[in-house]
Structure 1
Amino acid sequence: MPSWQDVTITENFLFEKVMHNKRICKRLIEKILGITIQSIEFPEAEKSISIRRDSKSVRLDVYVTDNTGRVYDIEMQCTNPLDDELIRRTRYYQGMIDMDLISKGHNYTELNSTYIIFICTFDLFGLGRPTYTFRNLCLEDTNLELNDGTTKLFLNSTAVIPYESPDIFPYSDLDDDIFYFLQYINGHAPQGTFVNEINKEVAKVKENKEMEKSYMTYAMEIERRERIARNIGLEEGMKEGIQKGLKEGMQKGMKKGLAQTALAMLEENIPLDVISKCTSLTIQEIEVLAKEHHVL
């Protein structure tokens, strides 16, 4: 993990702290979705959901609700997982959020609308678009929407890299401030009132000594978990290697014993097919063995 001095907003820890500025978080959601929100609340400082003790829990970067009850989960994603792991993760997040809402006494009809937003530093779908928005549609008639209240959205910060300003950007439906925000994520200098406000909040958080201590603790915990994972991997690898070695050793020992039995039977002029049945060696293997030991 980068040092505190080198941390940027793409690091989950810093992104989460900056987004706890309600004004910034609210405006970011509004600009991404093109909606107006009266107010937002953070139900918990760090939202973790675990439905059962044996289920895989999730820790959401930024989890907020607005005054109408709509739920927003915003995730910063800097690594592109293999296959469709990230896409499947949105499905799991959706299920966990819904189960969390139901566990609080809601009926199915009272499930709030949810928005799962991934801000990615890569193009997950490879089409060059700055945003990819998904809702459930009827395959026979794509004008018919299921209206189950779920939306999943992926932002692609690489889409804006070749362009200096939103004026020449081919996707005119992208908010200008989101254009500059995606550039900012790519390491460009902040531009526009909104992104400059975000940059000031980043500086404010990084000047906070308590935040620095928290980050160092966070980084140490991540390192500890990675070390444990590596150790577990080494232990499992060693066990697998030992088991494989024992198995191969036993197989070699058995093969050697069968070969010695076959040689003894050959010296007694016992037919090859009988030797094969007694030792499970093929006739070809017995012939090779006999030639090597000059028995035939």
Structure 2
Amino acid sequence: MQTSPSKYLGHRLRYYQSTIDGAKVLKPGHDYSELPDTFIILLCSFDPSEAFSRVDNRAVHFFKTIDTKDHALELNGGATKVIINSKGDFTGESEELKELAKLMNNEEVSLNEHFIWVQKRIKELNQDRRSDIMDYEMKIMDARISGREDGEKVGEKRGKEIGEKIGKEAERRAGIKRLIIAMMEISTDDRIIFNAAKKQYGEYFSDGELKQFIAEAKNDSLQEA
């Protein structure tokens, strides 16, 4: 699903094709003659003409490898790329495809139970995702506030110049610890936790220090368990 116009849709499809062929389909010990036919379907809720050589308002486009001088001559590579434009002209298209466009455009569908179920499921997933995002943002905010408060308490016990420096350092360390703990409640993926920590504290700590903080937080969590 693509929701934002881009002149690089063709490059995106090219990347998907390489990913499918290289990592998903062709296994070690097999050769390219065993590659199955593939179909990459890109659903666009906008006019994708920016990525084409000219404007074309058709609802569905099928792309294959053809000869540039003789467009009827096709290179049999087994790869088909499909772009569906939900805002395009659906004249002559099937009722199922028209219903799919309504689904993509957030319009109510009623053709059959399959489309109705999909629309209901999409609404559920979108609601869950919004809740996760709100929960994530609240945890980030709580971590920042708690870290700042902890740092301020430490800073009050120090001399003015030294206290400010140490207080800020303590604030950052307390803040990143709370951030990591909050992220661990959301995900167990070290990459996601590291990226969140780096985004907030990357200018103060090196990658090695950030990874060390994550390792220490996980170790503390195991000991508490």
Q: Which amino acid aligns with 2:120?
A: A
TM-score (norm 2): 0.52
* 2:120 equivalent among 203, 226, 238: 203
Pick from 110, 119, 122: which aligns with 2:43?
119
Q: Once the two structures are superposed, what CA deviation does each residue of 1:5-44 show, in whole Å capped at 9, x if it has no partner?
A: xxxxxxxxxxxxxxxxxxxxxxxxxxxxxxxxxxxxxxxx
1:203 positional shift: 2.4
Correspondence 1:107-256 to 2 at 5 A: 107-125=31-49, 126-159=55-88, 169=90, 171-172=91-92, 174-193=93-112, 196-203=113-120, 216-217=131-132, 231=200
Q: Which amino acid in 2 is paired with 1:117? A: I
* Higher alpha-carbon Rg: 1
Cα distance in 2 for residues equivalent to 1:219 and 1:153: 35
Q: How many angstroms apart in 1 are the aligned matches of 2:135 and 2:65? A: 41
Structure 1 outlier segments of 4+, above 3 Å: 204-208, 211-232
**Aligned position for 1:106:** 30
CA distance in 2, matches of 1:136, 1:98: 16
Q: Distance in 2 between matches of 1:152 and 1:92?
A: 12
Q: Normalised by the size of structure 1, how large is the TM-score?
A: 0.41
Whole-angstrom distance in 2 between the partners of 1:152 and 1:118: 8
Amino acid at match of 2:42: F
Cα offsets for 1:74-106 (capped at 9, x unmatched) = xx111223x32x220111111111112223433
Query: Within the alignment, does 1:77 sit opposite 2:6 as a pair?
Result: no
Listed as ranges, the gaps of 5+ residues in structure 2 are 50-54, 141-182, 184-191, 204-225
Q: Which amino acid aligns with 1:80?
A: P
Structure 1's unaligned 5+ residue stretches are 1-75, 161-168, 236-296
Measure how far apart 1:119 and its partner are.
0.5
SS at match of 1:152: strand
Q: Aligned pairs, how many?
A: 144
Cα deviation digits, residues 161-217 of structure 1 (max 9, x gap): xxxxxxxx5x31x22211121022212221322xx4222244257669xx9667744
CA distance in 2, matches of 1:144, 1:179: 31
Q: Distance in 1 between matches of 2:17 and 2:80?
A: 9
Amino acid at match of 2:87: T
Q: Which residue type is aligned with residue 108 of structure 1?
A: Y
Query: For residues 21 and 134 of structure 2, what CA distance do their matches in structure 1 show?
Result: 31
- Code of the aligned partner of 1:77: Q
Question: 1:219-271: CA deviations, max 9, x gaps?
Answer: 76799879668658x95xxxxxxxxxxxxxxxxxxxxxxxxxxxxxxxxxxxx
The one-letter code of the counterpart of 2:102 is: Q
Alignment identity in percent? 27
Higher helix share: 2
What secondary structure is seen at the aligned counterpart in 1 of 2:84? strand
SS of 2:48 mapped into structure 1: coil
